[in-house]
Structure 1
């Protein structure tokens, strides 16, 4: 009798577990995806009834949190380097990795200011008495791309002493939008959603490694949460990525 009761209890738990696991999906995503992912999360919940809960931060911060066992189901990085790190640390399922979008790198200033040539003289003149907002080049993809572009265009030596490294690219964007810094290096998608900044110049694509956003399931992903990863390739999600200024991956 006891054995039958335990078997029944076990069966009941197994049947109910997928329902409990499917109540929400927790997504750790790069800060530059805030607008796109928030919209995609709402679409996903409307389509499936499953809530998408997001944690947005710099990719390096999130990768280390996932490595440490943070309760995430999906990790989306702003570059392939931090995704490779997560794969090497066995924090994500390597077979699930897929690139969902691409981006561009731009120089921004407060709304209404004049365009700017990407020359040492023009940059230093505009930065007179101010600093260049940039995501931390040592830990954040946007900062790494920014440093690559400044070096690739021969501008690094002129501005390296005037940098204002920030926690992530959205903090750098906000700094320019508030007028705290006269210039900032951000993604095109960031500038697209912030009405208080102006794109002053676009960095040449060849000046930095391609800006790609890979997504993957974490090794601790709850059952059923792979559906969210699949949803990121849907026409609905691709439309949201475009609306946020990103280019959906082919």
Structure 2
């Protein structure tokens, strides 16, 4: 699935004074798992500044590739460091603007609101729980949530057994939707995604030491000439954004 249609900044030109115009649009490419928080933040940004925050959501890998293809993004927030590293190595982000914004946790969710909790540890019988059903995950070779999930199952020693029953989705929110609608009985998503649906139950949390640390770096895009991209990064560190992230279950990493 391609990300939502790119919303080009309405006006990048600056006034002769060097200040932004009265109603500029800043485009943020953000990992799909950030949807609810970014909805709140976009509203708060407009209320405080009068400017518009246009948020394009998709898997981090997809967004990074779009930036590589000169998509009109001003700020990028990835769900892992690798995709940000790739853009930085190619000079496509402003390295000096980069910082680690958020942390997250990886959970196992089940369809419905009455699923019993399970203990996720070596020897965990995930296949017994799945039966003939599928395990919904984001793409395990490209999307951060899928990469983390595969690593966690590898650490538990059950990836090879479970792999044939994995239903891969374009991004973590799509994986969540498979479980929420009952197309898959279980799935692996971020803790923050589980909060977004009343139709799933968190039945277990994967040990944090069983997969690479889940870190969301943010940075401005080098090709962008928006005078507001630095202001957006500052806003993401501010009280309104921090509160929105916390409400969705993220760990805020910036001081």
With normalisation by structure 2, the TM-score equals: 0.89
Aligned to 2:88: 87
SS for the counterpart of 1:158 is helix
The answer to whether residue 127 in structure 2 is matched with residue 124 in structure 1 is: yes
**Contact in 2 for aligned 1:28/1:74 (Cα 8 Å):** yes
Pairwise mapping of residues 162-241 of structure 1 onto structure 2 (< 5 A)? Answer: 162-221=165-224, 222-241=226-245
Unaligned runs of 5+ in 1: 1-11
Aligned to 1:245: 249
Aligned to 1:158: 161
Q: Distance in 2 between matches of 1:13 and 1:192?
A: 40
**Contact in 1 for aligned 2:105/2:214 (Cα 8 Å):** yes
| CA RMSD, 1 decimal | 1.8
Q: Distance in 2 between matches of 1:93 and 1:121?
A: 43
Can you list the C-alpha shifts for 1:51-84, whole angstroms capped at 9, x where unaligned? 1001000000000111111111000000001100
Q: Distance in 1 between matches of 2:83 and 2:90?
A: 11
Aligned to 2:8: none
CA pair 13-146 structure 1, distance change in 2 beyond 3 A: closer
- How many residues of Structure 1 are paired with residues of Structure 2 in the alignment? 239
Q: As a proportion of its length, which structure holds more helix?
A: 1
Moved segments of 4+, more than 6 Å: none
Higher CA-based Rg:
1
The answer to whether residue 100 in structure 2 is matched with residue 96 in structure 1 is: no
SS for the counterpart of 2:237 is coil
Unaligned runs of 5+ in 2: 1-12
